[in-house]
Amino acid sequence: MLAASANAQAPASGSAPPFPSRQIRFVVPFAAGGTIDIIGRLLAPSMGKVLGQQIVVEDRPGGGTVIATELVARAPADAHVILLMGPSYTINLFARKLPYDTERDFAGIARLAANPLLFSVHPSLPARSMKELVTLAKTKPGELTYATASPTGFQRLAAEQFKLLSKIDIVNVPYQGGGPATIAVMGGHTTINFGNVSEAAPYVAAGRLRAIAVTSLTRSDVMKDVPTVHESGYPGYEATNWFGAVTRVGAPKSSIDRLSAEFARALDTPEVKSGLTRAGLVNAYLNAGQYEEYLRQQFRANEKTVKATGMRME
């Protein structure tokens, strides 16, 4: 992906073969119903029509995103197998041992979308604000639990940062995606849901979850009545989740550039725009070159944060 991957993307000799030449797979490292799954299913029909090939969205949860990522790392280097991923991709290599080299084995295609995270709780919990939630946590150190989509993903990292800031002791319970994590809180298996706005918003609207605060510096368009963590007594706190696409390094640059351009076009179609809005997502497109630079920055920033929080999964 990075400096080492730039040369590897070019074909060895002659021109690249026609692209795409067969079915394209969007591999999602989380369970169905999560934000990345939603993004993939929004984009697949539009892109498939333009590219002239069917695009299949394939959910491969497990291993804290490792199962899906390794599948793409071992796929042919021709850009037909694409990993749809989020910040955990830039966190895992500093928090655990991996069967691939994240910084060298993949090539960035595009950053796609972003959304804030949300602190929410079961309606029975006696906390209606960030202040009340923190106070409750301090009276019960180590007793309250919070659900996340994976053990070492962005949600976990952002929660650990907030724990340091607020000086509370809450325990992480990881799941295999945002959907299962949200369901666990509604079922009373965990205390707090710390996940994407897009996954929790329908259940907040239905009264099955109580929204406490969003993690962006400004309020979410789909939850305008919910305050930010920043305005709830923790100025400057911000955690915005982003989502993108990578493929195995070695894929022809022309194929990657074609995909990047088609992602941009699809994100700008009325159907995808309205779908993103309904899910609480915003278009956060970066082309392949811009995304490579963004990923470099994320790797270095997350390396420092993982070391500071001591987050680790053996």
Please report, in tens digits, the pLDDT of each residue of the chain (314 residues total).
433 344 444 444 456 678 999 999 999 999 888 889 999 999 999 999 999 999 999 999 988 899 999 999 999 999 999 999 999 899 899 988 999 999 999 999 999 999 899 999 999 999 999 999 999 999 999 999 999 988 877 898 889 889 999 999 999 999 988 889 999 999 999 999 999 888 898 999 999 999 999 999 999 888 899 999 999 999 999 988 899 999 999 999 999 999 999 999 999 999 999 999 888 899 999 999 999 999 999 999 889 888 887 777 65
Residues 6+ apart with CB under 8 A from 49: none
**Amino acid 13: pLDDT:** 45
**Amino acid 153: pLDDT:** 79
Nearest of 262, 200, 297 to residue 305 by alpha carbon: 297
Whole-angstrom distance, CA of residue 192 vs CA of residue 182: 9
β-strand pairing of 24-28 with 81-85: parallel
Which residue is listed with tokens 């691939």?
100
**Amino acid 190: pLDDT:** 95
- Phi, psi of 149, deg, nearest 5: -75, -15
Q: In order of start, what are the domains of the chain with their CATH numbers? A: 3-114+241-309 (3.40.190.150), 116-232 (3.40.190.10)
Any idea what the Cα angle at residue 48 is, between residues 44 and 50, rounded to 5°? 130
Digit-coded pLDDT (tens) for 131-176: 999 999 999 999 999 999 888 778 988 898 899 999 999 999 999 8
Digit-coded pLDDT (tens) for 185-221: 999 999 999 998 888 989 999 999 999 999 999 998 8
The CA-atom distances, in angstroms, between 72 and each of 4, 87, 102, 213 are: 18, 17, 11, 35
Per-residue tokens: 164: 């340091």
Whole-angstrom distance, CA of residue 63 vs CA of residue 266: 30
Strand partners of residue 28: 59
Whole-angstrom distance, CA of residue 181 vs CA of residue 164: 22
Any idea what the Cα angle at residue 230 is, between residues 274 and 286, rounded to 5°? 40
**Amino acid 101: pLDDT:** 96
Q: Crossing angle of helices 88-95/66-73, nearest 10°?
A: 100
Q: Tell me if residue 210 falls in helix, strand or coil.
A: strand
**Amino acid 5: pLDDT:** 41
Helices (H) and strands (E) in the chain, counts: 11, 10
